[in-house]
Amino acid sequence: MEVSNKKAENHMTIDWQKLAASYERDLLTDLKTLIAIPSVRDVEHKTADAPLGPAPAQALNAMLEIAQRDGFDTFNVENVAGRISFGQGDTKLGLLGHVDVVPAGDGWDSDPFVAKIQAGRIYGRGSADDKGPTLAAYYALRLLKDQGITPKQTVQFIIGTDEESNWYGMDRYQATQAMPDYGFSPDAEFPIINGEKGISSLTLTFAAQPTSGHTSMTAFDAGLRVNMVPQAATASLTGNLPDDWQAQSDAYAEANNVKISYADTADGVQFTAIGFGAHALEPNAGINAATHLATLLAPWVDDPAGHLYLQTITDHLHNDSRGHHLDIAFSDAIMGDLTASADLFTFRPNGEQTIAINVRYPQGIDLATIQAKMQQALGDAVTVSITEAGHTPHYVSGDDPLVKTLLQVYQDHTGHDGREQSIGGGTYGRIMKRGVAFGAMMPGRENVMHQANEYMPIEDIMHAVAIYADAIYRLTQTEAI
């Protein structure tokens, strides 16, 4: 159905919410298809046609096939990124989403790759980050197209397949294609994210130490990704344990809201701690199983290698998401606090002894300073190296017409005042100098990204379709903004 020219002249005469609601069944069908693809980066099984593994490539092609079905022009970049185009004009508005996901991890009540609809929510890995929001933005384009509204700018919806890791797909896109002039990523929260902290990973590597002692640690492992607070951790001890070690373990678990179990091994005891996984952008949203397990075990282990490893965790990483004990605490009036999340742990007495830390830092401090301060705080027995320089802080002024327009759209659709926000998360919005993140999580909603039982309220997805359609409409009614 087409709208008249008169109707298309004024966004306030279009019932965006009613139009969006008519797409609910189609959108959920497509979302179920995308959730069913376990699109975790899998370079161990990469091929020439799937550099990031078969599932990310499959998810990308599924998204492009949806767009082709609906009559959009599409373009595939090496099966690692893609583009959906709509409209006409020299100015290019970019929408940047992703169809890759983090590993499912443990703790799910249902299959993470089989979408489940329950109590008005759709559950599944990627439902909130970022397959659900990506489809909301896509259906906004479909709504405009179906209504016969042609933007006066070219809208380029760019789809990535490695946003949760090192952005290889988007790097390949930028190396081969011209980027849009400005735009937004539907990969965060409303009302807007116009500031994003720098994101980097640093690794602590421990110097070789003697392994003699009455009580030794033979293994310590935790973590799935460097951007996820570890939900589970295991450690194996051999030698003499305190007579009341079981009572101490049980008491620690009860006092600290973690689960601790133990099992006999051939030469000792293996301990397992279960905390609560979360996105590393806010470590306080999770319970770090690794730092809790280390804090429990540190007083018992006296072999120099194991003790140094555990005591370092206890003294410098446990319950300190702002980096105070690493001497890197810093805060900015616009972007807020620096955060430090210890996310990957490996210890073997005669092998690897490392800890990977995800640091998200505001404007006003740089990565070299962070590294130097950490090194000084930890001393000579630990080497601090930058393993992923990542991204520097990114900010788009609240006076920019893009920010003003998006905040006005949000306010018109929700009745709530729009406001600038900065986050520790990294989105594709930062790729463009005039790029921001815009939705799709509503204020006050539980943030379940990267967690077990990830979900998104269906009403929020459909609300986002309306908001995105109106936002794209307003931004593209002139040849430039």
Q: What residues are labeled active site?
A: 100, 163
Tokens of 357: 């830390």
Residue type, 169: G
Residue 154 CA: distances (Å) to CA of 52, 62, 86, 185, 238: 29, 23, 6, 16, 65
Element (H, E) at 142: helix 131-146
CA angle 4, 6, 9 (to 5 degrees): 110
Tokens of 386: 């930058």
Residue 90 CA: distances (Å) to CA of 155, 156, 433, 468: 10, 12, 18, 21
d(CA 213, CA 298): 13
**Gyration radius of the chain over CA positions:** 24
Within 8 A by CB and 6+ apart from 226, the residues are: 201, 280, 343, 344, 356, 358, 388
Question: Is residue 474 within 8 Å of 184, Cβ to Cβ?
Answer: no
Selection from 475, 423, 424, 467 nearest residue 442 by Cα: 467
With H, G, I as helix, E, B as strand and everything else as coil, classify residue 479: coil
Residue type, 47: T
Report DSSP state, residue 179. Answer: P
Question: Is residue 138 within 8 Å of 67, Cβ to Cβ?
Answer: yes
Residue 235 CA: distances (Å) to CA of 35, 86, 348: 34, 54, 10
Selection from 105, 154, 74 nearest residue 450 by Cα: 105
Report DSSP state, residue 208. Answer: P
d(CA 159, CA 97): 5
Q: What is the largest CA-CA distance in the chain?
A: 84
Residue 320 CA: distances (Å) to CA of 97, 234, 313, 329, 473: 32, 21, 10, 10, 45
d(CA 198, CA 425): 9
Tokens of 451: 């967690």
Q: Which residue has the tokens 């429990």?
A: 296
Question: Is residue 54 within 8 Å of 47, Cβ to Cβ?
Answer: yes
User: How crowded is the C-beta side of 274, counted as CA atoms within 13 Å?
Assistant: 8
d(CA 354, CA 123): 35
